[in-house]
Amino acid sequence: MIRSIFRLPRYYLLQIRRLKGDPVYLAKGFAFGVFMGVLPLVPIQTLLIIPLSMTFRVSTLAAVIAGTMISNPLTFMPQYYITWKLGNAVLPGRISWEHLEEVLLAVSDEGLLNAVATFSHLGIKTLTVLLTGGALIGIPAGLISYFFALKFFRTLRVHRLRKQKLNNKKK
Instruction: Name the residue type at position 126.
Output: T
Q: How deeply is 98 buried, as exposed, middle or buried, from its count of CB atoms within 10 A (0-12, 13-18, 19+)?
A: exposed
What is the full per-residue pLDDT of the chain (171 aa) written as tens digits? 566 777 888 888 999 999 999 999 999 999 999 999 999 887 788 889 999 999 999 999 999 999 999 988 788 888 888 998 999 899 877 788 887 777 777 666 666 667 667 666 677 788 888 899 999 999 999 999 999 999 999 999 999 999 888 777 776
**pTM for the predicted model, two decimal places:** 0.87
Quote the CA–CA distance of 131 and 48 in Å, as a whole number: 14
Q: What pLDDT does residue 134 have?
A: 94
Closest to 135 in 3D by CA, of 29, 28, 26, 37: 37
Give domain limits for the chain: 23-165
